[in-house]
Amino acid sequence: MNKDTFELIAPCHFGLEAVLKKEIEKLGYEIVLVEDGRITYKGDASAIPRSNIFLRTAERVLLKVGSFKADDFDMLFEGTKALPWERYLPRSAKFWVTKATTNKSALYSGSAIQSIVKKAMVERMKMTYHVANFAEDGEEYPVRVFIFKDKVTIGIDTSGVSLHKRGYRKLVGKAPISETLAAALLMLTPWNDSRILVDPFCGSGTFPIEAALIGANIAPGMNREFVADKWDKLLNKKLWYEAVDEANSLIKKDVSMNIQGYDLNPDIIKCAIQNARSAGVDKYIHFQARDVKDLHNPKPYGFIITNPPYGERLEEKSALPALYNQIGKSYMGLKDWSMYIITSYEDCEKYVGKKADKNRKIYNGMIKSYFYQFMGPRPPKPNKNVVEKKNDKD
């Protein structure tokens, strides 16, 4: 089964497809299709455990069963029934349609789509296994359906719990950024483990923790379970052990990093410390209860990467001009630093007092946000007496 080729689908945050594409290619897999919010690629059976364990920016990994056109429920039923479900699902499988999304299509009722697809799967399984009923008392096979412009794509979710739930974030602060989004934004910057990184609004510590995981090359899915790790029909358990062994062998044991996380709330800082400890990266991060106005550092070429407050509640909006003005003042006082801010506050640049070199539209959940990129110069290359300053954007 390991030599068989599968198509896998990895959903991600809208606007961050390029980051996930690079990750998939780095794992050695062939890209089939890049669409808004998801990427389809090819791999053998080992791609399922490796993708779940290594990918930092995917929301989950789906095993694609097939796709077809359908603009009415009869076509949906027949198209689903024609798919080779027996290749993936054993007779004892517990299967259901956990989610159906539709866009610009004749079929628009999610609940009706779920019901029709389930019925069609049952009919196909009856034909294959020659039984009238299924006990569904075996391992779980959650199914997801996407319909776009009447093209139906159906996949089996191999992850189960979303990949953004690494397992380390037991405690969260107000309006936390997801782990997958934090990792993707970090990977959009030129930050690496040799550069200082400060998050002055760290909350429960997601940016610093994800940076430490990246810097130490710790695979994000090493210490959690996945729904597919119990699929004996499809995947040899050995493949999961091999993927974890590979991840362990790639960890940088001797890396040294300067990562700092600040927040005004001492209780939130305690949460961040505990989360970093759960992730196994607490030794790389210094957390402290500290105001952004007290952000000083004598070393050049550092990074601010942060998700500051953006006034979700009306009563908070009046405080934003002063807050973003202070962010700008603190940043201007740091020699040759870069700053990256994700926020939905549209007057960010106005009150920071500087126009971003780039900004990128990002959806943080359902909230339209922008990733403002203020790029400082690169540090000089070692062993050269005269080095012309170049911007990180070059």
Reported as a single tens digit per residue, the pLDDT across 72-93 is 999 999 999 999 999 999 999 9
Does residue 388 register a pLDDT over 60? Answer: no
Strands (E), the chain: 6-11, 30-35, 38-43, 62-69, 94-103, 140-148, 151-157, 197-199, 259-263, 285-289, 303-306, 338-343, 358-364, 367-374
Looking at residue 230, what DSSP letter applies? G
Task: Please give the structure tokens belonging to residue 240.
Answer: 């999961």
Q: What is the pLDDT of residues 329-356, one digit of tens each?
A: 999 999 999 999 999 999 999 999 999 9
State the DSSP H helix or E strand holding residue 314, giving kind and residue range, or none if neither: helix 314-317
Same domain, 135 and 272: no
3-state SS assignment for residue 296: coil
**Residue type, position 204, single letter:** S
| Predicted local distance difference test score (pLDDT) of residue 3 | 64
| 233 occurs within a structural domain | no
Kindly report the CA angle at 286 between 280 and 291, in degrees rounded to 5? 135
| pLDDT band, residue 1 (cuts 50/70/90) | very low
Q: Total domain count for the chain?
A: 2
Same domain, 278 and 346: yes
| Predicted local distance difference test score (pLDDT) of residue 4 | 84
| 272 occurs within a structural domain | yes
Same domain, 129 and 195: no
**Contact indicator for 296, 232 with CB cutoff of 8 Å:** no
Same domain, 321 and 203: yes
**Contact indicator for 286, 196 with CB cutoff of 8 Å:** no
Q: pTM of the prediction?
A: 0.92
Residue 109 neighbours by CB under 8 Å, 6+ apart: none
Chain mean pLDDT for the chain = 93
Same domain, 152 and 184: no
Of 311, 320, 321, 363, nearest in space to 342 by CA: 363
Of 196, 330, 339, 170, nearest in space to 261 by CA: 196
Same domain, 115 and 45: yes
Q: What is the pLDDT of residues 98-157, one digit of tens each?
A: 999 999 999 999 999 999 999 999 999 999 988 888 889 999 999 999 999 999 999 999
Same domain, 98 and 214: no
| Predicted local distance difference test score (pLDDT) of residue 381 | 83
Same domain, 359 and 295: yes
Residue that the structure tokens 């059976």 belong to: 45
| Predicted local distance difference test score (pLDDT) of residue 327 | 97
Task: Please give the structure tokens belonging to residue 14.
Answer: 């809208």
Report the alpha-carbon distance of residue 203 to residue 342 in Å, rounded: 14
| pLDDT band, residue 383 (cuts 50/70/90) | low
Residue that the structure tokens 């603009």 belong to: 71
Same domain, 56 and 146: yes
| Predicted local distance difference test score (pLDDT) of residue 173 | 61
Same domain, 142 and 108: yes
Q: Domain limits at 186? A: 179-219+251-374
| Predicted local distance difference test score (pLDDT) of residue 134 | 87
Residue 254 neighbours by CB under 8 Å, 6+ apart: none
| Predicted local distance difference test score (pLDDT) of residue 175 | 60
Report the alpha-carbon distance of residue 365 to residue 57 in Å, rounded: 14
Of 72, 78, 92, 65, nearest in space to 6 by CA: 65
| 128 occurs within a structural domain | yes
Task: Please give the structure tokens belonging to residue 317.
Answer: 């909006």
Q: How much of the chain exceeds pLDDT 90, in percent?
A: 84
Does residue 2 register a pLDDT over 50? Answer: no
Q: What is the pLDDT of residues 237-279, one digit of tens each?
A: 999 999 999 999 999 999 999 999 999 999 999 999 999 999 9
| 163 occurs within a structural domain | no
| 235 occurs within a structural domain | no
Q: What is the mean pLDDT of residues 158-170?
A: 92
Report the alpha-carbon distance of residue 248 to residue 44 in Å, rounded: 21
| Predicted local distance difference test score (pLDDT) of residue 387 | 47
The CA R_g of the chain, rounded to the nearest whole Å, is 23
3-state SS assignment for residue 354: coil
Q: Following DSSP, what letter does each residue of 193-225 receive, concatenated?
A: TTS-EEETT-TTTHHHHHHHHHHTT--TTTTS-
Q: For position 310, which CATH number holds?
A: 3.40.50.150
| 327 occurs within a structural domain | yes
3-state SS assignment for residue 303: strand
Same domain, 151 and 279: no
Q: What is the mean pLDDT of residues 33-58?
A: 97
**Residue type, position 310, single letter:** Y
Same domain, 132 and 41: yes
Q: What is the pLDDT of residues 190-233, one digit of tens each?
A: 999 999 999 999 999 999 999 999 999 999 999 899 999 999 88
Q: For position 123, which CATH number holds?
A: 3.30.2130.30
| 214 occurs within a structural domain | yes
Residue that the structure tokens 């062939």 belong to: 30
**Contact indicator for 120, 76 with CB cutoff of 8 Å:** yes
Q: What is the pLDDT of residues 124-141, one digit of tens each?
A: 999 998 888 888 999 999
Report the alpha-carbon distance of residue 18 to residue 360 in Å, rounded: 13
| Predicted local distance difference test score (pLDDT) of residue 131 | 86
| 166 occurs within a structural domain | no
